[in-house]
Every structure is written in structure tokens, then in C-alpha cells.
Amino acid sequence: MALTHKSVAEIGISYAGTNEWANEMKSLLQAYVEKPISVLETGSIIQTHTGENAWAILIRYNS
């Protein structure tokens, strides 16, 4: 599936450990979406598997 014709509706950032990197990415990516970017700490169950300093960027596209 090609995403070239899709526009970004919303971005979220999830992190394990400190939120420094997540907030830096939020500052850089905010220009691409109108909605505020959510930055949330990953839950303890996921952190058990990923370890410290893991992160994910979640993107929802407009339909």
C-alpha cells in the first residue's frame, strides 16, 4: 500500500526511560500536524521487553 497520497492526521510518541528524546522529536514533528502530539510513557509490561530508551512513533493518516 503506497502512502504517498495520504496526509498525516495525528502523531503520538511513546517512550521508555526518560522523556528527553521524545520531547525533542515532538518539537521537530509538530510542524507536520495540526493536532498536538501526545507524548506518553510506555507501560511497565512493554518496558520489561524493550528495556530503557525504547521508543515508538505512532502515525494516524487521514482517510
What pLDDT is attached to residue 47? 86
Extents of the domains making up the chain = 8-61
Task: Tell whether the model's pLDDT for residue 60 goes beyond 60.
Answer: yes
Instruction: Taking residues 15-38, report their average pLDDT.
Output: 94
Q: How do 38-41 and 55-61 pair as beta strands?
A: unpaired
Average pLDDT, the chain: 90
- Confidence tier at 1 by pLDDT (50, 70, 90): low
Task: Tell whether the model's pLDDT for residue 3 goes beyond 70.
Answer: no
Give the separation between CA 60 and CA 63, rounded to whole angstroms.
Answer: 9
Give the separation between CA 34 and CA 8, rounded to whole angstroms.
Answer: 9
- How many residues are given for the chain? 63
Task: Tell whether the model's pLDDT for residue 46 goes beyond 90.
Answer: no
What pLDDT is attached to residue 58? 94
CATH of domain 8-61: 3.30.1180.10
